[in-house]
């Protein structure tokens, strides 16, 4: 904060709140804030019904609670006064609800408001060993769940039934919760990168793409695999091998000091040379940790140098509209001499 001349960091319920204080909850309409000044102690403003919980679970000692019949704005005003926020540079949690930012702007109109990601992203994008071990576990649970589901005869099952099965297996093995809504896209639906599982029944010859992950102590996994129900057509086989090789090329490019855009380029150039450049309609990857999508983004134009301890997905895909699509995704940790995958489900065509 001092390096960036930020006087006050204001965090709302979010992954940042969990990262900094070991506590968070879903964002809601009640004022719930962690205020961290550059000097002095942090202050937690919490709804009274959370006071004991925050006290037991968070690292923060100063907890000010407000009751449902109190005016939380008054409490916020007195806290900001105590922290001497008047002409300060104030960093705001990127996902804070607009209503709370407007409240802050009303109380301290002369402050300069900036995004908290200025401070938080450089911290969060480098994972420490305790974070990595949780992500490894989350990846392992996803692998095991997929292993179980890929034994099923998919024919006749609906996308939703398969998605529910995958989720159940991840949770049964110890995931805290799923990391995001599980995607199962079959047949022509697999040509839609973010198709949600629906009621379509799997038929012989369908391509089926799965995109799934769970959380362990808040840390996410995120895996995509594509299988064929029955015998693949030559076209399915060809497209699959192009994606498989593009994913491997991008993975091989990972190492400390490499620009993020270079990893994207490896996958994209391979797919383009194979004639499918226009069908690869998204970035190659995204950082992952407490959030499923966070920095660093593996995308053209991002000249950020990858560092040891970063974790991100590599997930090229080819989508042929009204026909089928293929995506293969792994989470990769940057080590001192390259990349290490945190999930290892079979990547060969099944």
- Write out the residues near Co ion by the rule CB under 5 A: 222, 313
CB of 211 to Co ion, least distance (A): 7
Residue of 254, 248, 215, 218 lying closest to 328 (CA atoms): 248
Q: Is residue 133 classed exposed, middle or buried when 0-12, 13-18 and 19+ CB atoms within 10 A define those classes?
A: middle
CB of 138 to Co ion, least distance (A): 13
3-state secondary structure (DSSP) of residue 305: strand
Q: Is residue 154 classed exposed, middle or buried when 0-12, 13-18 and 19+ CB atoms within 10 A define those classes?
A: buried
Q: Is residue 320 classed exposed, middle or buried when 0-12, 13-18 and 19+ CB atoms within 10 A define those classes?
A: middle
Nearer to Co ion, 169 or 211 (CB): 211
DSSP element (H, E) containing 77 = helix 72-82
CB of 155 to Co ion, least distance (A): 27
Which tokens sit at 110? Answer: 């002369």
CB of 21 to Co ion, least distance (A): 27
Q: How far is CA 187 from the centre of its chain?
A: 27
Nearer to Co ion, 32 or 210 (CB): 210
CB of 294 to Co ion, least distance (A): 11
Q: Using CA atoms, how far apart are residues 244 and 248, in angstroms rounded to an integer?
A: 6
State how far the alpha carbon of 227 is from the alpha carbons of 19, 66, 139, 187, 328, in Å. 36, 53, 19, 11, 10
CB of 315 to Co ion, least distance (A): 5
Nearer to Co ion, 88 or 313 (CB): 313
CB of 106 to Co ion, least distance (A): 38
Strand pairing partners for 214?
178
Nearer to Co ion, 208 or 332 (CB): 332
Nearer to Co ion, 91 or 195 (CB): 195
Q: Using CA atoms, how far apart are residues 191 and 245, in angstroms rounded to an integer?
A: 19
Q: Using CA atoms, how far apart are residues 251 and 88, in angstroms rounded to an integer?
A: 43
Nearer to Co ion, 222 or 294 (CB): 222
DSSP letter at 233? P
Greatest CA separation for the chain: 70
Pairing of strands 177-178, 219-220: unpaired
Nearer to Co ion, 1 or 292 (CB): 292
Q: Using CA atoms, how far apart are residues 308 and 174, in angstroms rounded to an integer?
A: 28
CB of 183 to Co ion, least distance (A): 10
Nearer to Co ion, 12 or 313 (CB): 313
């Amino acid at each position: 904060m001092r390096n960036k001349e930020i006087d006050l960091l204001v965090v709302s319920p979010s992954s940042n709140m969990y990262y900094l204080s070991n506590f968070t909850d879903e964002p809601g309409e009640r004022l719930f804030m962690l205020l961290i000044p550059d000097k002095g102690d942090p202050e937690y403003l919490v709804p009274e019904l959370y006071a004991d919980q925050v006290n037991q679970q968070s690292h923060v000692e100063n907890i000010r609670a407000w009751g449902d019949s109190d005016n939380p704005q008054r409490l916020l005003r007195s806290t900001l006064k105590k922290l001497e926020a008047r002409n300060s540079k104030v960093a705001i949690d990127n996902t804070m609800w607009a209503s709370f930012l407007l409240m802050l702007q009303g109380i301290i109109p002369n402050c300069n408001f900036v995004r908290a990601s200025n401070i938080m992203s450089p911290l969060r994008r480098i994972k420490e060993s305790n974070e990595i071990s949780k992500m490894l576990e989350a990846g392992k649970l996803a692998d095991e769940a997929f292993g179980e589901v890929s034994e099923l005869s998919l024919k006749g099952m609906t996308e939703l039934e398969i998605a529910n099965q995958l989720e159940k297996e991840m949770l049964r093995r110890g995931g805290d919760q799923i990391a995001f809504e599980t995607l199962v896209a079959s047949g022509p639906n697999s040509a839609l990168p973010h198709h949600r599982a629906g009621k379509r029944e799997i038929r012989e010859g369908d391509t089926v793409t799965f995109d799934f992950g769970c959380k362990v102590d808040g840390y996410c996994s995120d895996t995509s695999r594509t299988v064929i129900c029955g015998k693949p057509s030559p076209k399915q086989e060809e497209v699959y091998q192009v994606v498989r090789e593009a994913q491997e090329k991008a993975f091989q490019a990972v190492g400390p000091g490499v620009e993020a855009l270079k990893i994207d380029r490896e996958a994209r150039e391979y797919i383009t040379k194979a004639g499918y450049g226009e069908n690869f309609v998204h970035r190659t990857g995204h950082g992952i940790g407490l959030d499923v999508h966070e920095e660093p983004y593996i995308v053209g134009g991002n000249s950020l140098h990858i560092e040891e301890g970063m974790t991100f997905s590599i997930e090229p895909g080819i989508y042929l509209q009204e026909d089928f699509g293929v995506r293969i995704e792994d989470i990769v940790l940057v080590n001192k001499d390259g990349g290490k995958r945190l999930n290892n489900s079979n990547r060969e065509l099944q």
